[in-house]
């Protein structure tokens, strides 16, 4: 893993954006894996700014998001569909039919997982963006998730629900379940770009990079991937030896 320690969140966001912009300029029909949560918000702002200033086009880009809350429909302002729309997709020229986000309210969720795996199998993600949970999750692959699992439904950890309660009115409103790409899907990307900031992530970042590869810390699975770049600030890097 390549670890880059940056001075500010702005620097991280700009570096991450440069990565994506270079990829899309070189290969206009790139497949990009997007994440939600607070970590990539600065990156998406940079992409939107670049789109306005330099007209980098996403018209041939295909996107796959990592996850979606279960039991929430896409118009709900807490859905990851809504998140992606407001932070990125409505501001750029990506085509609606090129966007893939697991559906959180399909009638048959197992069928939805199968459908998502099928779509993923038809594409190779060029760059997968990731954040990391304070418990070491990637996507919503919580501790204990086998590394060979593909898209599945998962019960969210209490820690994850507590961490994400900041986006909701209360802890009780945080959904209990989610649909997430599996670690196996994530590892199939050609390149992985993980963003982590703040002291709360320091332990997970240390265990991801220096700890043993174990299902207790899902992000440690990235150790076996040949092309991972980790962009961190000093707080998130503070426990690295």
Backbone angles phi, psi at 179, to 5 degrees: -105, 130
Q: Of these, 104, 136, 139, 182, which contacts ligand F6R (CB under 6 A)? A: 139
61 vs 101, which CB is nearer to ligand F6R? Answer: 101
Task: Name the E strands within 2-145.
Answer: 2-6, 31-34, 62-65, 67-69, 99-100, 127-130
Q: Which single residue is written with the structure tokens 């290969």? A: 27
Interface mask (CB under 6 A) for ligand F6R, residues 96-115, using x and -? Answer: --------------------
- Six token digits for residue 30: 């790139």
Could you give the CA distance from residue 235 to residue 131 in angstroms, rounded to a whole number?
15
Residues 6+ apart with CB under 8 A from 228: 1, 2, 191, 192, 193, 194, 222
For 215, the 3-state DSSP assignment is coil
66 vs 209, which CB is nearer to ligand F6R? Answer: 66
Could you give the CA distance from residue 21 to residue 44 in angstroms, rounded to a whole number?
11
Q: How far is the CB of 39 from ligand F6R (least distance, A)?
A: 3
- Six token digits for residue 17: 């954006």
The interface with ligand F6R within residues 151-180 (CB under 6 A) comprises none
For 123, the 3-state DSSP assignment is coil
Residues 6+ apart with CB under 8 A from 107: none
Total residues interacting with ligand F6R, rule: CB under 6 A? 14
Q: Of these, 33, 42, 104, 131, which contacts ligand F6R (CB under 6 A)? A: 131
Q: How far is the CB of 53 from ligand F6R (least distance, A)?
A: 26
Q: Of these, 133, 175, 182, 218, which contacts ligand F6R (CB under 6 A)? A: 133
Q: How far is the CB of 21 from ligand F6R (least distance, A)?
A: 21
Q: How far is the CB of 131 from ligand F6R (least distance, A)?
A: 2
The interface with ligand F6R within residues 36-75 (CB under 6 A) comprises 36-39, 66-67
Confirm or reject binding of residue 137 to ligand F6R (CB under 6 A).
Answer: yes
The stretch near ligand F6R (CB under 6 A) out of 50-58, 71-79, 101-109, 138-146 is 138-146
Give the residue numbers marked as catalytic.
67, 135, 137, 142
Which burial class, exposed, middle or buried, applies to 17 when counting CB atoms under 10 A from its CB (0-12, 13-18, 19+)? Answer: buried
Q: How far is the CB of 65 from ligand F6R (least distance, A)?
A: 7
For 109, the 3-state DSSP assignment is helix
Binding site for ligand F6R (CB under 6 A): 35-39, 66-67, 131-133, 137-140
């Amino acid at each position: 893993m390549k670890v880059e320690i940056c001075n500010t969140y702005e620097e991280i966001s700009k570096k991450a954006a440069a990565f994506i912009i270079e990829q899309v300029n070189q290969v206009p029909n790139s497949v990009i894996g997007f994440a939600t949560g607070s970590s990539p918000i600065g990156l998406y702002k940079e992409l939107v700014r670049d789109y306005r200033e330099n007209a980098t086009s996403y018209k041939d880009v295909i996107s796959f998001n990592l996850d979606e809350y279960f039991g929430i429909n896409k118009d709900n302002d807490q859905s990851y569909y809504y998140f992606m729309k407001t932070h990125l997709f409505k501001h750029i020229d990506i085509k609606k039919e090129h966007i893939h986000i697991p559906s959180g309210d399909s009638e048959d969720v197992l069928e939805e997982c199968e459908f998502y795996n099928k779509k993923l199998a038809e594409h190779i993600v060029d760059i997968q963006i990731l954040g990391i949970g304070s418990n070491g999750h990637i996507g919503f692959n919580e501790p204990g998730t086998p590394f060979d699992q593909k898209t599945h439904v998962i019960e969210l950890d209490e820690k994850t629900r507590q961490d994400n309660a900041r986006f909701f009115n209360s802890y009780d409103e945080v959904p209990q379940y989610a649909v997430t790409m599996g670690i196996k899907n994530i590892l199939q990307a050609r390149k992985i770009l993980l963003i982590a900031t703040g002291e709360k992530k320091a332990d997970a970042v240390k265990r991801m990079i220096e700890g043993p590869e174990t299902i207790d810390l899902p992000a440690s699975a990235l150790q076996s991937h040949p092309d991972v770049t980790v962009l961190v600030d000093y707080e998130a890097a503070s426990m690295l030896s």
